[in-house]
Every structure is written in C-alpha cells, then in structure tokens.
Structure 1
C-alpha cells in the first residue's frame, strides 16, 4: 500500500515544480538556483527514477497550483516541513536557511494563488447566511418574538454543510434549488401569519380562577380519585360559549389556589400523555389556526432544599379516542416562591405551530394542558413495601402553585396585531396606495438587506404589488408576494461585498454587516448603520467601542453559543446516544430517566459555552479556558459534580473543587463530547485534543482499519491485554503509526475520567511510566494509580492533565502547540467566515503578539481581530 504521507508530499512537490516552471523570466533564475536545487537535493532521491515514491515525477506535466485541492496539499507539505516531519528522519535535514527559503517561497505562492482565485481581493465576495443566521434575520425583520414559545425556524430550512471547524466558510455554504424552495415556503408562511388582512376574529377571553372550581371527576385519574373542574363563561360579550377546565391530582390550598406535584407522580409511566391527571386542562372554543392565542398563568413554586426548580409545561393536547396527540409549546422554570406569585405570559402563534388542527376542529375545542414537568436532581429509587400494600412516598419534591389562568383568543386585545402594525408602520401616514406600499417595502428591504435601499431598487416589487391590487386583492393582502420576494432575495440571504483588485477598505455598511453577523449572528442595528452611513465606523476608536457595545449586548450570546459549540463539538453531547444509566436511579422509570437525561445533557453542553461567555463579558484571560479556580454551573451540574450550595437553573460563578480546575479540560461536557459514549475512548480523546486544543487535524484513517473494541472481540488474546498494549499493537503498523504517534499519547491525559466525564474517586498522582489501568478503571490493581502520562506531538512529556494544561498554556514556549494561538486562529477564521491559509500567517503572528501584550484577554483578542486589515479590508 502506498504510504499516504509520501503520496501527499509527492503531490505537493509536483505543485512546487509546476509553479517553478511557470514563473516569469525575472523570477526564474533565483528560484532555479534555490527551490529547484532544494527539491533535487532533498526530494528527487525518492521522487525520481523508475519507481518514484507516490507515483510522482518531476519530468511530467503537473496540476496547476490554482487548483484548490492541489493548493491544500501544498499547504500540508508546508506544515510537514515546519514540524520537521519531512524530510524523513533517515534523510539529511534542511539547514535553517534552506528551510526558510523553501517555506517563505511556499507562503508567497499560496498567497498569490488565493488572491488570483478570489478575483484579486483575497476575500469572499458573497457568503450565504447559515440557516440559523437567516432564520434569526427573518425573526428580527418580521418581529416574530413570542414570550416563552421558541419557533426554531431553522428546522424548516435545509441543513448547512456539516463541519466540525468553527468556520462559516463561504465556499461551503452553497445555494441550491432546495434552499430556494424551502426559503420561499417558509417566508410565505411567515408573511401570511404576520399580515392580518382578514376580518378580526370573534374576540373572546376567559379567566379560570381556582377559587371558583368545584369537585369533579377528571378523565385519566385513577379509580376513587377526584379532581377539580367546572365551566367558565367568556368575559367577552360577543361569545356565549363556555370553556371547560379540569384539574387532576392537585392539592387545594387554604387560599383556594392549587398545587401540582411533578407529573411523574400521577401514575407509573409519567403521565405525560394523559388528559387531566396532574395538570390543568383547558377546553377552549375552536378557532381557525390564525393569529396568536395568549395565556397568562399566575404561578409560583415550593422548592424543598436540595431540589431543582420545577418546570411549567404548556402543551396543545387532544384526547379524542384513538387520536391522542401532544405538542409541547413552552417550558418555563418557575423560580419565584408560592408566597410571591407572578404572571407568566405564553403567546402561541397558531399559524406557525405545527399541529394537526383537524383534531381540534373535529372536537370543536382547543385543548391546552399545563403541568409540572419537574425532574429530581438526585437519584431516586422507587419505594417498595410488602406486596399489595401502599408505600408512603419518602421524597420531598418541587411543586407548582397555580392561582389562575387567563386565555385570550386571536381577536382579543389590539387589532391589527403587534407584528402587523410594526411591519407596516412606515406607510401609516401615506394615503396613496402605491406610495404606502413603496414605503413599507423600502423599510422592510432596508432591514432585511441590512443597508440603505434606493427607490429604484424597490420599483419592481412595487409593480408586483400593483398587479396584485389590480387582481382584486386587499391593500394588505397584496403586500404578501412582494414582501416574500424581498425576504428571499439574494440581498437578504447573502453577505455581499464589492470586489477590488487590491485590498481596500470595506464600505461602512459592509463593515457593519461583517461585525454584526460575527458577534450577533444577525443584521446591524440602527446605531451601527448610522455610524456606517456617516463614515465613522472606520475610525479605530469608534470601531473598538462598537465591539464593546455588541459584546455587552445580550445578543452576543448567539456568538458564544455557535462558536464554542462548534469548536468543541458540543452538539455530540445532546445528539449522540450516550447512556447515562439513569433508569434504575429514576424510580426505575424509563420516561423519568429520559427527561432527566435530556436536561442533564443540555446543561453539560451549555457549561463550556456559558463559561466562555463569562470570560468574554468580563474580559478575562483565555488562559482560564484551560485552568481556573472557579466554575460557571447551575444546580443540576453542581449536583453532577458533587457540589453543594448551588440553587436554581441559572448559571453562576462558584469556587471549583480541586478536580475541576482545568477550565474546559475538566468540564464533563467536553470529556463526553470527546468520548462519544465509548468506555474505551483513548484514541477518540487523542483525536479530539489534537484537533480542538492543539489545532492540528489528525488525518483520515484508512477505511479498512477496525476500531479497537472490534479488534479485541475478534482476537481474544488481544482483548486480554491492557488498553495501552492494544494501542501499541495497533500502531506497530507503519501507516497507522503516522497518525497514532501524535494521537495516542494525548488521549491518556483523560485516563482518569470515564466516558460520562466523571473523575475517578480514588485518584492519586499519576505515574510517568505505564500501568495496566484502563480509562474505565478495569484491570487496575487494588493500590495502583491511573497512568495519565503522555506527550505532545513536539515530544514534550506530561505526567497528567494538569501538566498537559501547563504545557499547552505556556504562551512563551516557541511551539506551534499553544492553546492561546489555537484559539486566536479559530476566532479569526470564524470572524472572516473562511478557512485560514498560509497567507494569513503574518496576521496570526500579529494577533498572537497583541494577545500576549494584553494578557490573552478574550475581548481584547476579538477587538484585535476586528481592527485588523483582514477584517476591515477586502
């Protein structure tokens, strides 16, 4: 089998030879005496003769360097040269001068090729918004914000190319017919939901007060149990229909309010699909699924010490026989006490919630279910007693107190609705039909296209409006089609920047868009656009002040979420089928365990994000990402870590226990993401550390290589060996050793963590020499320690995770394996929305030097990136 490393190097050398042969006459002589002589002295011995290595020759036509794939191979060859991987150890090494000559020439030629490929500007001319960015843009422009009801519009758009790198790479974000169809379908639905061009629906509202309810039999309750219920007349005079309410398994408090226990207490299988048990169940008059149904729930909670805050769950529920259907709408943590009840608003956009409304239409009512979806923080065993005898429940649990619920139909309150008024406000003072439409379309286009829009640009959309009016559509109905066209326009879906033969400053509006998409994941606000159009944004002090303002704004949370999730591959934590073994610890109830696991996995994935956000907002040092004496956790994570004294679902700063002082490196979610549910995950962890923390892609393994656990099952003798011995056998194969010599020594740094991110309780100081200990603790002698020793790819050894962090955190060490530099590279690529290449090396050196001067503070790193010419120029 051809050595893939040699083959890659061979391709790179072909590219070098091609570039040498294509130089101008002015450049040919010095390169003939330098680069060509270097290739002959150090490469031709293997890549010449009758059987050249990698089947690459220098005397045959070669692929043009402008080819992106060849250029990528060339850049890999550069990396191999600077790391000392080539020439091979048994061959003469290049002198420092020769290495500098060759690598400098490679960098220069790569930069030339990149500039030529991108039209002379070295930047993306157009970059499609990711589906998350586009969905957020639509929400902003159309005002689609509904209290406590997330829309998740991105789920209705095609998925973006999957990449584990934190890069919004414009080359990868292609646009196909599927994107166009999906975006048109979505925007048509949204515009139709916002524009209220039909008559006002019949208004109605109800108030369900627990004090006025009597005892009633409730469907879904066990024999002998009785709940509360009754019929409630409408508050609106125009409607005579009464609504019904039923409440099952609830305590009646002295003041008349009701207390709901956790829903899993109502029966043996969680009861999430039953109609009335353990919940308030409302039967409201059926209306067409148009407009917004509003609820106002007056509630509080009783939380025993050591338990988590209960979660109020609101769902559409249909209980027609054989057509049971639940659709969760909202999850609201109830943190205020029952002594201080407060109102919680839930707005449900009927047009935008996917639900089989035909079920409601058949039953002539809308079913709304409100329940307590609390889950315990601590493990809970199901109480058992003598057969056939009831057992007293031994646990104190978080409960929700509900005093009243108000329901408002789509026609109640202001009309037209809020979103409609905000969308058409630009035309309010204009009586002329065409002028009104033009003003509305120009206002919407300016916000959607994120720049000033000229009158002539809107003229074609106004023509569409007039055609629809001529067809007999209403004044607002005729706006639907042109508004849809504006919102699916390339101006809305793309970041568009002018080309330039030489790097030149971006326009103010282009810079404003770059900055807001980078830090908010959406378009610029009025202040940013005003500065841009006034020509002030290129002032370095003004631009730096805007970075501070955008970072301090709550909208920067989307940047932290996206950047950190992608950098650390945290989506694996929530999406991978990882067994947390909670069923037997959750009343032996699979559904309770599933809900506990779902919330635990969510919090594990959020911890590294909230930690980074804390550093960003407080301008703390990036060094704290791999070593600090505090954590940012909530009650569920604190319990997972065995910490006391943390209350509530909000993330807050607390002192870290001794075994969790490694920043990201000791966060359970990071270890879980690296392990992917595998008990023997040393190789996976090594790949993860090499890629995510050391910034080097580990390469693609051969397709015929089986995982270690498969090899162990097929070879019993191999399976009886320690994990280190199995890996040693695996890497004895030359082609495997090329990658594993870097991967495997890193993976052992986490040897004392299990695949769920929990550290060994009997951990002692690790040894530098090997033992037979496995990552999950198997085959370990009674008094032995866990061997967490390894070495970095540059040969520096570490005894354990703490020493690993010290090595990669040593920003003065002249090594490419510095975590601070890796973070700078990832942030820069994310900000520029493209992969970095060799032409960016000078920029990275400058940013690293700036970071060192500023103590590696995260906000200052971002500010330096934004102020760099690569960001402000194109």
Structure 2
C-alpha cells in the first residue's frame, strides 16, 4: 500500500492525480502543497475506484474528518493514511461485501457487483469508467447491454488477461517455467500458446478451433518446428554481436505443416508433457474434462526388454498395465498419449524417420485411428460435445471464481447445447456466461455475519 501511494504521488503519475482532482496541476506543483479541496477530490475519486461502487456522503465525510484543518505536509500525511486504510480494508480486498444482503434468498446481484464480475472475468481488473457509469444508471442488467460490453472489452488490450491467467491456469502452461530454464526457449515455448488462446478469445473464433486451426503464432524460437512452412515466415535480423535474442511473434497461416494446428500439437504443450502417459493424462483432464484418480503410490517401474528382445516402450508398457486396477484408467489414457508418439520429447515431428513408432489406437467408445491426424478428426466430430462442455465448465468456474456444483449443471447443459448446435465462438460462450443465472444472481446465507 505504501509503495502504491508513493507511486501515485510521483511526478510520472501527474496525469492520474489530475484526473482525481479534476483539474490540471501546474508543472511545478509538489505534493506537500496539496489543498483541502484537492484532498477532498482525491478521496472522493479514490474511494469510488477502490470500493468499485458509489459511496454514501456519510462514509465520505467520515473519511474526510481526520483531514480537517490540516495543511501542507500534515494534510498529505493524513490523506495518505486514510487512503492506505481503504486499501487495507476487507471491503477493498474482497468483493461482494458492500452489496445489500437478503438472508436466505436468491436475488440478482446489484449493478455494481455485476460490473465487478464482468470486469474481473474478462480483464482481471476493476471496472472502468464506462462500466461504472452503466452500473450507476442501473443499465447493466439489460442482456443486450451486457453483450455490447463483452464485445467492447474483448477489443481492449486488457483482455489478454483471459489468455495469460485463465488459459495458463486451465492448460497448466506455467509448468514450462520449471521445465525450461533457458530464457529464450522459455519465451518462445510459453508465449506461443498464450498468443494463440488470445486470438481465439478475442477474434470471435469457434470454440472447437482450440483443437484444429490453421492459425498459429511463430517466432524464430519455434520456427524450426514447422518444416517447409518456415520459408514463408518473416526473417529476423539479429543485431551485430548478439548470438541469441528473444524475437517477436507473428500471426501465421499453416499450409504444409499439416501435423500442427490447434493447441495440442504446439511445441510447448508437447514439451511440458513428455511421454505418452503424461500426454494422454493431460488430454483427458485438460481437454476432454475427464476426472482421473491419482495413480497408486506403489506402482512398479516399467521393466526393460527381456534378454534377446528389442521391445518398444509401448510393447513393454502393455505388459506393465496388465494389472486390472491400472487398466481401468490406462484404457482411456494410453490411446490418446500414444497417438502423439510421432512427436519427440521436445515436440519435434518425426516426419523423416524410416520406422515411425506405432501411433494407432482405439478409444473406449470403439473409435479407431492410425495416428494423431485421425484422432484429431474424431475429437472435432464425435468428441466435440465433450470438448465444448469442458470448455464451458472451465470458463464458468473461472468467471465465478469458485468450484462448480450440481446447481450449475442446468447452465452448463444449456450453454454447451447452444455452442455445439451453432458452432459457437468463444465470444458467444462469454456472452452466454455473463447472461447466465449463476453469473447474474446469488444466494445469500440464512445468517450473514457483519
């Protein structure tokens, strides 16, 4: 809180102080010269922003009382103390505490709470002036207005937080932070999927393009994963004397690299999930939404090939999973994981090898495939509803900042049905969520403390 206040009153933040005081300060103005009128203006504006809603005159006057009759440095010290107290209060740190409560009832949240939910969902930030104005007028509960605001907010640079926060949490992309220590490789492998997710979320792309898309994002660090398509990428000239450096990404349309496309075959995703078991488990949990139990603690290691036999890992693993308790999960994990065996541990596609590993498989549904390309076709057709449902559940949980319960199931069912039927986009999904009952209403506890 102290650092934030010092930053606010620093010369570089003068435009922010101008906005709070609703007046242009002279270039030679110093914080110690603050007047009572200026302090009052700052408190009123700061409290509105900090509490994320209109604050009563009684509350404002109580905050201003300690500032009365003070001038110069004493006034500045008292002002900072009151601002710090606001930033340390539960009403600033937690959401929903200032909303009128109705014990034991289900009610629509008020417009200020709705503005908060919308802003922290799409921007991971407090509501801006436009949302606050709409909340003050009581217009946010209009469904068309909410749709317009989603469209406006997705066009803002702040919407990158959806990919950087929600996307990274959902897909476990932060696992690359521990796995890849070399900064240039880390930058390339970690940022590529985030930029791709941002493209899907903000450019009104179909939800199922998460799995199959001709669009990707490339820089010099990942260009080597794209075969002959690399020749069409923009060339980057390194500064003289620099051996390696981080390079910018460009949006890129795939043509010949048919083994890429979608989130699953991105180099970073394949790198952080090394081996068929990790890859299959990740696909089941993160993409298809299948809940798997934790493996037993006493699993024996996979035995090496018997003397005189040169068995592949897949052949040795078939013997390993013969235990019935293991087979129950592995019949789901293994077909998905081994489908990606044409990609090595670093995510490189093994296109020029004479003898490729066996990437065929059969899903528990009975659907068979020869390689990942054929599996992808299954994922975007017969498995599409599962993928969309998982996307809906993950997004709704993030938007609500909580785990979902059985009471959310009708909402999940309805949104999934609409997205599948209309080949809905991510923006359609976001609009459906902000107009849903869980997002717009709340149930108050029978007894409310405080």
Whether the TM-score (by the shorter chain) exceeds 0.5 is yes
Q: Deviations over 1:535-575 (max 9, x none)?
A: 11111111111110011111111112212111211112233
Q: Structure 2 matches for 1:700-715, cutoff 5 A?
A: 700-705=294-299, 708=302, 712=304
Match of 1:450 in 2: 52
SS of 1:818's partner is: helix
Task: Answer yes or no: is 1:569 the counterpart of 2:172.
Answer: yes
Match of 2:232 in 1: 645
Q: Deviations over 1:294-336 (max 9, x none)?
A: xxxxxxxxxxxxxxxxxxxxxxxxxxxxxxxxxxxxxxxxxxx
Match of 1:664 in 2: 263
SS of 1:787's partner is: coil
Alignment partner for residue 209 of structure 2, among 604, 624, 643? 624
Does the CA-based 8 Å contact 1:821-1:848 persist in structure 2? Answer: yes
Task: Answer yes or no: is 1:784 the counterpart of 2:378.
Answer: no
* Structure 1: gaps of 5 or more residues: 1-186, 197-290, 293-416, 579-593, 676-680, 764-782
**TM-score normalised by the chain length of structure 1:** 0.45
Structure 2 CA distance, aligned partners of 1:524 and 1:493? 15
Structure 2 CA distance, aligned partners of 1:514 and 1:721? 55
Q: Deviations over 1:401-443 (max 9, x none)?
A: xxxxxxxxxxxxxxxx5267347525889x9965543432221
Match of 2:93 in 1: 493
Q: Structure 2 matches for 1:799-810, cutoff 5 A?
A: 799-810=370-381
Q: Deviations over 1:760-782 (max 9, x none)?
A: 0326xxxxxxxxxxxxxxxxxxx
Structure 2 CA distance, aligned partners of 1:671 and 1:490? 42
In structure 2, the CA distance between the partners of 1:619 and 1:798, relative to structure 1 (3 Å rule), is same
Q: Structure 2 matches for 1:189-200, cutoff 5 A?
A: 189-195=3-9
Alignment partner for residue 329 of structure 2, among 723, 727, 739? 739
Tell me how far 1:522 sits from its aligned partner.
0.4
Match of 2:386 in 1: 818
Q: Deviations over 1:193-242 (max 9, x none)?
A: 4335xxxxxxxxxxxxxxxxxxxxxxxxxxxxxxxxxxxxxxxxxxxxxx
Q: Which of structures 1 and 2 has the bigger CA Rg? A: 1
Alignment partner for residue 484 of structure 1, among 75, 78, 84? 84
**TM-score normalised by the chain length of structure 2:** 0.84
SS of 2:438's partner is: helix
Q: Structure 2 matches for 1:530-609, cutoff 5 A?
A: 530-576=133-179, 578=180, 597-609=182-194
Match of 1:13 in 2: none
Structure 2 CA distance, aligned partners of 1:718 and 1:633? 45
Q: Deviations over 1:435-474 (max 9, x none)?
A: 543432221121122111122223443344459x59x943
SS of 2:106's partner is: coil
Structure 1 CA distance, aligned partners of 2:100 and 2:313? 56
Tell me how far 1:837 sits from its aligned partner.
2.4
Does the CA-based 8 Å contact 1:574-1:602 persist in structure 2? Answer: no
User: Alignment RMSD, CA only?
Assistant: 3.0
Match of 1:857 in 2: 425
SS of 1:652's partner is: strand
Structure 2 CA distance, aligned partners of 1:609 and 1:617? 12
Match of 2:245 in 1: none
Structure 2 CA distance, aligned partners of 1:719 and 1:450? 69
Structure 2 CA distance, aligned partners of 1:640 and 1:685? 18
Match of 2:243 in 1: none
Structure 2 CA distance, aligned partners of 1:473 and 1:424? 19
Tell me how far 1:757 sits from its aligned partner.
0.9
Does the CA-based 8 Å contact 1:626-1:805 persist in structure 2? Answer: yes
Q: Name which structure has the greater RCO, CA cutoff 8 Å, separation 6+.
A: 2
Does the CA-based 8 Å contact 1:191-1:480 persist in structure 2? Answer: yes
Structure 2 CA distance, aligned partners of 1:718 and 1:557? 55
Structure 2 CA distance, aligned partners of 1:719 and 1:872? 63
Match of 2:439 in 1: 871
In structure 2, the CA distance between the partners of 1:601 and 1:725, relative to structure 1 (3 Å rule), is same
| Structure with greater strand percent | 1
Does the CA-based 8 Å contact 2:280-2:336 persist in structure 1? Answer: yes
| Structure with greater helix percent | 2
Alignment partner for residue 369 of structure 2, among 787, 798, 815? 798
Match of 1:503 in 2: 106
Match of 2:241 in 1: none
Q: Deviations over 1:131-169 (max 9, x none)?
A: xxxxxxxxxxxxxxxxxxxxxxxxxxxxxxxxxxxxxxx
SS of 2:270's partner is: helix
Match of 1:425 in 2: 21
SS of 2:95's partner is: strand
Task: Answer yes or no: is 1:518 the counterpart of 2:104.
Answer: no
Structure 1 CA distance, aligned partners of 2:350 and 2:34? 75
Match of 1:16 in 2: none
Does the CA-based 8 Å contact 1:451-1:509 persist in structure 2? Answer: yes
Does the CA-based 8 Å contact 2:215-2:251 persist in structure 1? Answer: no
